[in-house]
Structure 1
Amino acid sequence: MPERLFYELDITKRALIFDAGLKEFSQHPYDTASTNSIIKFAGISKGSLFKYFKNKEDLYFFILDSVIADLVTETTKDMSNLKGNLFEVVIGYAAIEFNWHISNPEKYQLLKRAFIDDHSAIFKKTINRYEASAESLYDSLLSDHLTKEPSSQKNTKIIKWVVEGFNQEFNPIIDSFDDVGMLKDAYLEELINYLNIVKNGIAD
């Protein structure tokens, strides 16, 4: 979390530091992202930056926290409009999230870097930091279809396992798409294929 001095800055200065950090961390892996570039873009000294944040990692997670909070806030607004069965809701939310990515390309680039496994120490910390909140968001998404019946809970778990497994398989090829719109179309098409297999049953 930022130090108290950061919040004593005027909102324009805070936004400039945030934008500088977002720009650098979205364009470069964490290990090679440069605090020198950040302070140059923000127009502050390195000494000032580390009065506002304990270290580079503290700054990184402040920016990532802010981006994820924005994603959750904006997509949650549209979640209440999702209608249909369990499968349709999952697909609908995926489309909503991709629409946010398309509208926020720099934030999307940061999230893409943050959640694609690069075997780094910061990736492991990132997963540990956000795993519980991601689970909570997904449970909220499926809450209208979840009852106390064991069969309902098992159905929800199966859908979650399928989506998680599909994401792990799909994530490594994300960088092969230059256009997020094309990525959205490919992702949704393949996700629908997998969910249809679950919905209709696996044929012999």
Structure 2
Amino acid sequence: MNQSFHNLNSDKQKRIINAACKEFAENGFEKASTNQIVKNARIGKGMLFYYFKNKEELYHYLIDYCLNHTIEEYLQKIGTSEPDFIERLKQAARLKTEYHLNNPDMVKFLATLFLKDENEMPERFRKRYKEIMILANSKLYDNIDITLFRNDIDTEKAFKLIRWSIEGYQQELINQLKNQNLTTLNVDPYWDEFYEYLDVLKTSFYKEEGKK
């Protein structure tokens, strides 16, 4: 990759990255149009190949960039000091929702990558993919206090049911907010409703003393 890309101002870099993510997410690598990318990025037709040698180099750069961005701006921000599984997921859900709303094209691009069979990924990214899955798993489950759960509950099944419930609400929230102006929107009522659902989950799965 040409160092000139890194020398661009951040706004122009972001336009190119988002335009490329959107095109690859919607059409896949083979059918993605570099003409459409430069049009959406609002750059001259020849400039993309001044920054990147070819479409494959651009594609691989995007994978690297988006994986790093997701780790730094989402996964690493999830703390593991909270021992309450539902409270941990509350924190993660808020961070993930904000990340999705602020980076929709990157999220769609990575989603199309992760939904592929692992063997279809470029070989150099398979190890990184596994490392990220291990990190994401540790962020959810490390240091969780399972004694908060009722004794008659299968903890592993409870983990899955709680996670599915929270992820379902989170996706519904993302769908409701994705086309709105977040800088002026009061999102507190949405989170208040979310926290009410979490109280229901605690009532269902936790011992009485485990509810906060």
Q: Give the TM-score range, shorter chain.
A: 0.5 to 0.7
1:111-190 aligned at under 5 Å gives the runs 112-114=107-109, 122=113, 124-125=115-116, 130=129, 133-145=132-144, 155=155, 157-166=156-165, 169-170=168-169, 173=172, 174-177=174-177, 178-179=179-180, 181=187, 184-190=191-197
Match of 1:94 in 2: 93
1:39-50 aligned at under 5 Å gives the runs 39-40=38-39, 41=41, 42-43=43-44, 44-50=46-52
Counterpart residue type for residue 38 of structure 1: I
- 1:11 equivalent in alignment to 2:32: no
Moved more, 124-133 or 36-45: 124-133
- 1:197 equivalent in alignment to 2:197: no
C-alpha RMSD over aligned residues: 4.3
* Number of residue pairs matched by the alignment: 179
Kept in 2: contact 1:91–1:192 (CA 8 A): no
Match of 1:22 in 2: 18
Distance in 1 separating the partners of 2:24 and 2:54? 22
SS at match of 1:51: coil
Distance in 2 separating the partners of 1:28 and 1:188? 36
Match of 1:61 in 2: 63
The structure number with the bigger radius of gyration is 2
> What CA deviation, in whole Å up to 9, does each residue of 1:126-176 have, x standing for no partner?
8886576244323234322269xxx9xx73x34541244235644664424
Distance in 1 separating the partners of 2:22 and 2:88? 30
* Deviation, structure 1 residue 68: 0.9
Gaps in structure 1 of 5+ consecutive residues: none
Looking at secondary structure, tell me which structure has more helix per residue. Answer: 1
TM-score w.r.t. length of structure 2: 0.56
Percent of residue pairs bearing the same amino acid type? 11
Q: 1:172 to 1:125 in 2, by over 3 A?
A: same
TM-score w.r.t. length of structure 1: 0.58
Kept in 1: contact 2:22–2:108 (CA 8 A): yes
Gaps in structure 2 of 5+ consecutive residues: none
